[in-house]
Amino acid sequence: MNQLAQLKQFTTVVADTGDFQLMKQYTPQDATTNPSLILKAVQKPDYRPLLEQAVRDHGAAGTDAVMDALLIAFGCEILAIVPGRVSTEVDARLSFDTEATVAKARHLIALYERRGVARERVLIKIASTWEGIRAAAVLQREGIRCNMTLLFSLAQAVACAEAGAQLISPFVGRILDWHKKQAGDKWDAVANAGDNDPGVRSVRQIYEYYKKFGHATEVMGASFRSTGQILALAGCDLLTISPELLEQLAAGEGAVERKLSIEQAQSANVARVASDEPDFRWQLNEDAMATEKLAEGIRLFAADAVKLETLIDA
């Protein structure tokens, strides 16, 4: 078997793309999207009709209505391909507003349900700020399942699990990016590869914590830079992978070894982490990488949302 087929024996594979035509090649279980991926997709001729249709049908209701309709259109197209779930993201500009995040998530789910899509097939993506996590706690109680994104630290992961979030998406590649930038010329690529990759270590730590203390929240590694990072997390609950890396895995012939398991995690030496608001904010503050990458990620997603609105209004 190729490496992708072997990986699927240990881990649920998710397609990280807005290009649903590419999904058909790799038969993922689920798919994730975000404003950046949707922006990239609608600039291709194959997907431009979805944008044009959303503008025709909802333009009179304003840009926000068109944006929401476009997200749902992509989600429905994706759900016609994957057997599982699609993740649809709340506007990053709402990341520090709990009430607005809850309202937007309810609206998106209502739009899906009007299209005949059960809420069980949708994950609402929310940034892992304190306000976003509180929104997830409300939504989960209503049966609206949440995918907590822009997650870079154990403190965020613990707070998400205790809020009852369905799934978290720790960003492996962006953690690596930060450490490489900090190290500069002193970065040792060989010493920090595989199991020693800082992004891989972060996800392993979160996975072990969840399994050790019985948290049901799913762990989905995200934002990969190489197949090496992916294979170092074989056995994680889910891994969301770009089409480029899916293609490399499908062409890879080496053996894939399971790296993470519940049994191994339950025997790990792991200490409990406090997760009330003061502890959360202090731990995040003390983690320069997580603080900086969370803020940067929100800014980037917000900027791409603005670019998408500009296309809508053109």
Q: Which is nearest to 307 in space by CA: 88, 134, 144, 67?
A: 67
What is the DSSP track for 164-196? T-SEEEEBHHHHHHHHHHHHGGG--TTTTSGGG
Rounded distance between C-alpha atoms, residue 269 and residue 226, angstroms:
29
Tell me the sheet residues that pair with 86: 31, 122
User: Residue 188 corresponds to which tokens in the numbers above?
Assistant: 């040792």
Instruction: Report DSSP state, residue 108.
Output: H
Contact of 49 with 61, CB cutoff 8 Å: no
Q: What angle do CA 252, 255, 261 make, to 5 degrees?
A: 115
Instruction: Report DSSP state, residue 276.
Output: S
Active site residue 24: no
Can you say how many angstroms the Cα of residue 197 is from the centroid of all Cα atoms in its chain?
A: 19
Strands (E), 106-145: 122-127
Contact of 219 with 156, CB cutoff 8 Å: no
Q: Which of 8, 24, 104, 125 is catalytic?
A: 125
Rounded distance between C-alpha atoms, residue 173 and residue 181, angstroms:
12
Which residues are annotated as catalytic?
125
